[in-house]
C-alpha cells in the first residue's frame, strides 16, 4: 500500500523548511499555527518577524473549495502569502491565488514529503487596515491607543470602535509593524 500525504505531513515538512530558512533570526521570529483572521479563516502557519507571512496548506487529501475565500481574506492582512499545495492540485490552485502569492508544491508520500518552490511570494501592497486590526484583542488595541495618547473617548467602547480609532490615527506602514510586534510578543493565543 502506498502512503498517503496528509496535511500533517506537509505541515511537518513546511515547519522544517521555515526553521531552516529563518535559522539566523529564530530568536526574533514567532511561528503560529492556525492563526484566526476576523473569525472567518485560519492561516495554517504564520511567520512573524520583520514581515507577516502566512502559509496555506492544501494536501493531496484536501480540496480547493475554500481556497478562493481564504486567498481573499489572507490578502487583507499578510505581507507575504504562500500556498503549499499537493502536486495533484498545483495547476488549478495557481489559477485561484493572486499573482503576488508564492507557490510551493508538495510531492511524494509521507514521511518524505518534498517541497519545491515554483513561485516566489512578493510583497502585498493592498493590506486592509480594518482586517489587520481584527488580529488585535480589544485590550491590545486599547493599550496601543493609550500609549500614544489617543484613547480618549474609546476606553469603554467595543473592539470595532477601538480598531476604527487606531486606524484613524495610524498609517498603514506603522499599523503593519504594530500588529506584527503585538502578535509576536503575545504571551498566550486564546482570549480567556
The CA R_g of the chain, rounded to the nearest whole Å, is 18
**Integer CA distances (angstroms), 142 to 83, 95, 153, 167, 173, in order:** 33, 40, 11, 12, 19
Residues 90 and 179 in one domain: no
Domain count, the chain: 2
Closest to 73 in 3D by CA, of 39, 123, 48, 34: 39
pLDDT > 60? residue 2: no
Q: What whole-number percentage of the chain has pLDDT above 90?
A: 76
Assigned domain for 191 exists: no
- Give yes or no: residues 33 and 89 share one domain: yes
Total-model pTM: 0.90
- Indicate if 96 and 133 belong to the same structural domain: no
61 compared with 123, residue with greater pLDDT: 123
- In terms of domains, do 85 and 158 share one? no
All 3 cell numbers of residue 3?
A: 502512503
Residues 16 and 85 in one domain: yes
Picking from 119, 154, 174, the residue at the C-terminal end of a domain is 119
Q: What is the pLDDT of residues 167-189, one digit of tens each?
A: 999 999 999 999 999 999 988 76
Model confidence at 190: pLDDT above 80: no
| Terminal Cα-to-Cα distance of the chain (whole angstroms) | 45
| Residues of the domain holding 173 | 129-185
Asked if residue 34 is part of any domain, the answer here is yes
Q: In sequence order, which residues have a C-beta less than 8 Å from that of residue 73 and are 6 or more positions away? A: 37, 38, 40, 41, 131
For 3-40, the pLDDT digits (tens) are 577 788 899 999 999 999 988 887 889 999 999 988 88
Amino acid at each position: 500500500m502506498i502512503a498517503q500525504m496528509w496535511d500533517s505531513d506537509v505541515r511537518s515538512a513546511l515547519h522544517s523548511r521555515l526553521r531552516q530558512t529563518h535559522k539566523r533570526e529564530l530568536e526574533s521570529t514567532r511561528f503560529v499555527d492556525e492563526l484566526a483572521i476576523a473569525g472567518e479563516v485560519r492561516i495554517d502557519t504564520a511567520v512573524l518577524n520583520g514581515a507577516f507571512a502566512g502559509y496555506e496548506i492544501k494536501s493531496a487529501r484536501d480540496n480547493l473549495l475554500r481556497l478562493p475565500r481564504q486567498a481573499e481574506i489572507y490578502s487583507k492582512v499578510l505581507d507575504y502569502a504562500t500556498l503549499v499545495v499537493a502536486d495533484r492540485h498545483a495547476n488549478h490552485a495557481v489559477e485561484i491565488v493572486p499573482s503576488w502569492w508564492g507557490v510551493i508544491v508538495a510531492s511524494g508520500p509521507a514521511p518524505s514529503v518534498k517541497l519545491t518552490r515554483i513561485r516566489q511570494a512578493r510583497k502585498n501592497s493592498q493590506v486592509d487596515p480594518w482586517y489587520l486590526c481584527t488580529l488585535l484583542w480589544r485590550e491590545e488595541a486599547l493599550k496601543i491607543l493609550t500609549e500614544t495618547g489617543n484613547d480618549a473617548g474609546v476606553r469603554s467602547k467595543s473592539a470595532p470602535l477601538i480598531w476604527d480609532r487606531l486606524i484613524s490615527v495610524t498609517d498603514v506602514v506603522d499599523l503593519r509593524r504594530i500588529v506584527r510586534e503585538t502578535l509576536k510578543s503575545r504571551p498566550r493565543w486564546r482570549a480567556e
